[in-house]
Structure 1
């Protein structure tokens, strides 16, 4: 479905996916905004924030083909997105139309962790990580023989902690071999990195990487992130090392503009780059950065796209901001309570339920398995964490085992 307006007089920008903050900011610069997404994602707020809509379902090739066709009617000056699932789509459309933006090869590299590892080689930079694509089960044994246990097995293309496994012993090694046999060429093995986890939030303009914040990360079962705090509680030397490694990495992959969210582990040998994405950090990190720095990454991106000066910090700023995520025992949620009390606690700026009675709580394997979050601000990182955790402790999700589906004997009528 395409809703077309008269031929715009202002430069048109195609915004793929996301909420309304970026479209509103772009329109604030006088741009003509075309929102692209699935029909179910187009809300009344989107209707009020955009000039036109390209609404359709389909694969990436479909999006590229339709966008190129629409460009003949509404010539796009730029194509942008802040959503993971549209990153390569936006880059392919940009490339097909010859528009300004990050090189397509750079965006594809960030989606393919094996290509990213090749571009940022351990022999050239000590912050790089040893890795190898697993084409056959024997590759698992060969990689372990070279780096030792434990190792990490993950999809070459993935985000949100999905499908990550740590191989620690012989039993895990057998399971890893089976995974590789079932999905040859899909998984990547990497050396295991021990140390606290961080992400570095940046904005690149004219090839210069501006460091906005260092986020301290906390993980639970299956390496799923369960908390964040900005600024990270690190000393000046470690912060400089994290920032330096990130800048070198972004230079190596050729990022020229826009936001990036780079994940780093601070090992005893120094920072090591885990992965990166040419978008703002998820899980509300963009809001933590805004609370602390007074800068919204989406506003920076809108100004960049419009060719306007990048905005300065604005509004009241907190010393620190933290988000903590609720997890619960797997099963059927029978009772959810405490969200109103959590929202009223000192310093709490957001309390977001993610599970309602009747929902099924899955085992914690990915970001979607969390049950909600609380965000709080305070003068220090420790206090912000205490406030977020303390408020979340007021929330309760009770679960019970999911009833087994009754067995229905097969009959002739159902065969």
Structure 2
């Protein structure tokens, strides 16, 4: 008997996207990718042979294709590991009678402006304003007070998010954003919140743990590393968890994976954004290494209507650091990356750019050329190993 198929509507182009495909196969499903262009995915040939080209922004086309597939195969579930397609994947799942989060709530949450409106009464927002013109953005920035953060109301991976220190910075960046926006014609101007950044990883409304985030130099906010679980006090843990619970309750997010990003500013949690999806940047791998909890498997099982039990089996600390070149140029590889000294600590090391690739720095996740994941018994141990590895690696750019 043929295996049931599991539908993925597009995917992350690497990292957890590939892990979702591999995990679905291990669960005895046949993963099928619905996409606009299969060539953009660095996946095994198996996946390219099991993909269908369709306009993945058109729900009617997706439904029609899935109805055709259902004539010969059972569809176990529908999901997307891509930030940009989680909403339409939820709509498709509901139309096919499959399990998913509430499609309306997911779509609403995709808007950072909607999030700000819903969380306003709880004191979880930074100062903010919406702008539909460059002049309006400058006026709001001056009212809020510099520095400010100017960003799109939709997006992912810190794309288009920039700190602005003066009116000229706001003019330049808001003009850039407004020239690219094809929906709402709206951007956000927000207070620059100082304080350590964290994210809360949740599943079915329950907290799995808190991730400590390491962010690159301003004016950009590219994430250069993560540590799970974060080494924080009991009081701060409770403050952060309470804020996350309030946010997801107000946004109506109760199903599946949720990723809440925030900063702790003078003991006050300030929500950066709430994502109705699993964390990216290989954070699920950190959780699996640290706690023995496979959230990718749990998500697929949940979408397939199977019972899911989250059980912690380890109590370790895992961390990832991304390798970031300091300047644009041609990437020629990385030196000193044979880490025999740390072979018992390194879980994974990967170079994500091919030698000869042209790297144009944008101040977001696309700047990364590789990463290393390590696991240790304590936060102190993981810091020592990660720092030694990162200081030994040389990124060869010309």
Structure 1 counterpart SS, 2:339: helix
Which residue number in structure 1 is paired with residue 339 of structure 2? Answer: 341
Distance in 1 between residues matched to 2:251 and 2:148, nearest whole Å: 24
CA contact (8 A) 2:178 2:187 kept: no
Distance in 1 between residues matched to 2:29 and 2:213, nearest whole Å: 36
Which residue number in structure 1 is paired with residue 14 of structure 2? Answer: none
Which residue number in structure 2 is paired with residue 211 of structure 1? Answer: 207
Structure 2 counterpart SS, 1:90: helix
Q: CA deviation at 1:93?
A: 1.6
Distance in 1 between residues matched to 2:146 and 2:208, nearest whole Å: 35
CA contact (8 A) 1:214 1:231 kept: yes
Distance in 2 between residues matched to 1:154 and 1:362, nearest whole Å: 20
CA contact (8 A) 2:77 2:93 kept: yes
**Which among 67, 74, 82 is matched to residue 71 of structure 1?**
67
Instruction: Look at both structures and tell me which one has the larger radius of gyration over its CA atoms.
Output: 1
Distance in 2 between residues matched to 1:341 and 1:77, nearest whole Å: 42
CA contact (8 A) 2:152 2:177 kept: no
Structure 2 counterpart SS, 1:392: helix
Which residue number in structure 2 is paired with residue 409 of structure 1? Answer: none
Q: CA deviation at 1:17?
A: 3.9
Structure 1 counterpart SS, 2:84: helix
Unaligned segments of structure 2, at least 5 residues: 12-16
Structure 1 counterpart SS, 2:366: helix
Structure 1 counterpart SS, 2:109: helix
> Counterparts in 2 of 1:294-333, with a 5 A limit?
294-313=292-311, 317=314, 319-328=316-325, 329-333=327-331
Distance in 1 between residues matched to 2:379 and 2:300, nearest whole Å: 29
Which residue number in structure 2 is paired with residue 43 of structure 1? Answer: 44
Unaligned segments of structure 1, at least 5 residues: 1-5, 401-415
* Aligned: 1:16 with 2:12: no
Distance in 2 between residues matched to 1:243 and 1:277, nearest whole Å: 15
Which residue number in structure 2 is paired with residue 175 of structure 1? Answer: 172
Which residue number in structure 2 is paired with residue 397 of structure 1? Answer: 395
Which residue number in structure 2 is paired with residue 147 of structure 1? Answer: 144
* Aligned: 1:89 with 2:88: yes
Q: CA deviation at 1:28?
A: 6.2
Q: CA deviation at 1:54?
A: 4.1
Which residue number in structure 2 is paired with residue 413 of structure 1? Answer: none
Distance in 1 between residues matched to 2:351 and 2:69, nearest whole Å: 42
**Which among 130, 135, 140 is matched to residue 132 of structure 2?**
135
Distance in 2 between residues matched to 1:97 and 1:308, nearest whole Å: 17
Structure 2 counterpart SS, 1:198: strand
Distance in 2 between residues matched to 1:181 and 1:32, nearest whole Å: 42
Distance in 1 between residues matched to 2:86 and 2:80, nearest whole Å: 6
Which residue number in structure 1 is paired with residue 153 of structure 2? Answer: 156
Q: Cα deviations across residues 2-41 of structure 1 (Å, max 9, x unaligned)?
A: xxxx9x7x86542334446445655666666544344333
Scaled by the length of structure 1, the TM-score of the pair is: 0.82
Q: CA deviation at 1:67?
A: 3.4
Q: CA deviation at 1:120?
A: 1.9
Tell me: CA distance 1:367–1:177, structure 2 relative to 1, closer, same or farther (3 Å).
closer
CA contact (8 A) 1:350 1:374 kept: yes
More deviation, 335-344/164-173? 335-344
**Which among 271, 274, 280 is matched to residue 273 of structure 1?**
271
Aligned residues between the structures: 381
Q: CA deviation at 1:85?
A: 3.1
CA contact (8 A) 1:217 1:229 kept: yes
Tell me: CA distance 1:217–1:110, structure 2 relative to 1, closer, same or farther (3 Å).
same
Q: CA deviation at 1:182?
A: 3.5
CA contact (8 A) 2:105 2:251 kept: yes
* Aligned: 1:202 with 2:202: yes
Q: CA deviation at 1:125?
A: 0.4
